[in-house]
Amino acid sequence: MDRVLQIGPLLPSLERDMREHYDVVLLDDVPDGYLDEHGAEFAAAVASSRIGVDRALMDRLPSLRVIVNFGVGYETTDVEAAKERGIAVANTPDVLNDCVADTAVGGLIDVMRRFSAADRFVRRGDWTRGPFPLATKVSGKRVGILGLGRIGRAIARRLEGFDVEIAYHSRSRVEGVPYARMETPEKLAAWCDALIVATSGGAGTRGLVSAAVLEALGPDGYLVNISRGSVVDEPALVAALTGGRIAGAALDVFAHEPDVPAELLTLDSVVLLPHIGSATHETRRAMGDLAFRNLRNFMEKGTLITPVPEI
């Protein structure tokens, strides 16, 4: 039976499938020094967007040929190091587009119409003392999408139903879409009423939503982030929100999950979600199945179904 190294906890159904077909060892369970003796026995590693495979771990797995990442984002795995060693890398794209896009639109409506704040208002019994303050209309507004990849486009398609005007910024122009491209994130933020962050994470997008971008979004502007906390300068975001320099934010991702900046916990202008963009039974199951199919395909035929584009 081939040996597979599991990095961190995974979806239970994926773990079951893996155990049925392979000799799975959970990295967290092995004693110190285990990999010095047994590292060469692993041809495959299965990781997640939360904990990936870094260069140091690859060095301890000299026979590693494939890394399968449960999740579309794979910035926790060092793809450059994998490439140097001829290690194939797969992720789980597309199957989560619907749910992550739904989360973005849900967050946008929640923060602008203040549904979560209104729910707290009712639960506190405040309704008996007077009406809830007026909120901001969503339909017909200008929405900027930062990163018009597969998830960004799924968000845009949904928003077309709200008659919003859509523009985007991506590193390069996206062909075949009816949306205007803004040259910089600042220009997009200055143009829109709400900025939705849908880029990938990693070094290339770190701090892309800077203090200057938030300044450009302005006191009537909203931020929605369903991509990675690292894309936003979090201290600058906290300062902008507490100082009223942007109107509100819906955040599914944070710089140091599961830690959320304490200042945000008491702010009614912020919707805080615990990284649940893809967290439905249907989507997680589809992600688990795709991860497993990648693993099997590679172990049996030497090819991946959804390899990452860099390799």
User: CB of 153: closest distance to ligand 8YV in angstroms?
Assistant: 16
First to last CA, the chain: 27
- The residue from 6, 48, 205, 230 that contacts ligand 8YV (CB under 6 A) is 48
Q: Which is nearer to ligand 8YV, 208 or 216 (CB)?
A: 208
Torsion sign, CA atoms 293, 11, 202, 155: positive
Active site residue 275: yes
Partners of 70 in beta bridges = 48
Q: Which is nearer to ligand 8YV, 9 or 235 (CB)?
A: 9
Beta bridge partners of 42: 3
Binding range to ligand 8YV, per CB under 6 A, among 133-141, 171-179, 255-263, 274-282? 274-282
Contact 214, 246 (CB under 8 A): yes
Size of the site for ligand 8YV (CB under 6 A): 11
Among the options 257, 263, 282, 300, which is catalytic? 257
- Which of 210, 222, 214, 211 shows the shortest CA–CA distance to 247? 222
257 catalytically annotated: yes
Q: Is 16 in the site for ligand 8YV (CB under 6 A)?
A: no
Q: Are 108 and 250 in contact (CB under 8 A)?
A: yes
Q: Which residue is nearest to ligand 8YV (CB)?
A: 71
Catalytic-residue membership of 120: no
Choose, by CB under 6 A, the member of 7, 25, 46, 73 that binds ligand 8YV: 73
Catalytic member of 153, 169, 275, 284: 275
One residue of 6, 49, 77, 225 binding ligand 8YV per CB under 6 A = 49
**Rounded CA separation 148/156 (Å):** 8
Applying CB under 6 A, does 6 fall inside the site for ligand 8YV?
Answer: no
Binding residue (CB under 6 A) for ligand 8YV from 22, 42, 70, 298 = 70
Which residues contact residue 65 at a Cβ distance below 8 angstroms, ignoring those fewer than 6 apart?
Answer: 43, 44, 86, 87, 88, 298
Pair 169, 146: CB distance under 8 Å: yes
Rounded Cα distance, 91 and 85, in Å: 18
- Contacting residue, 96, 108, 214, 249, with ligand 8YV by CB under 6 A: 96
Where residue 119 falls (left for φ over 0; alpha for ψ -120 to 50; beta otherwise) is alpha
Minimum Å gap between C-beta 165 and ligand 8YV is 28
Residue 155 in contact with ligand 8YV, rule: CB under 6 A: no
When asked if residue 38 is in the footprint of ligand 8YV (CB under 6 A), the reply is: no
Which among 21-29, 132-140, 147-155, 271-279 is the span making contact with ligand 8YV, rule CB under 6 A?
271-279
Beta bridge partners of 46: 6, 68
Distance CA 282, CA 43 (A): 30
Q: Distance between CA 273 and CA 225 in Å, rounded? A: 10
Q: Is 23 helix (H, G, I), strand (E, B) or coil?
A: strand
- State in angstroms the smallest separation of the CB of 15 from ligand 8YV: 13
Please tell me whether residue 152 binds ligand 8YV under the rule CB under 6 A: no
Stretch that binds ligand 8YV, among 60-68, 71-79, 183-191, 258-266 (CB under 6 A): 71-79
Question: What does the alpha-carbon distance between residue 145 and residue 152 come to, in Å, rounded to a whole number?
Answer: 7
In the complex, which residues of this chain contact ligand 8YV (CB under 6 A)? 48-50, 70-73, 96, 275, 277-278
Residues annotated as catalytic are 228, 257, 275
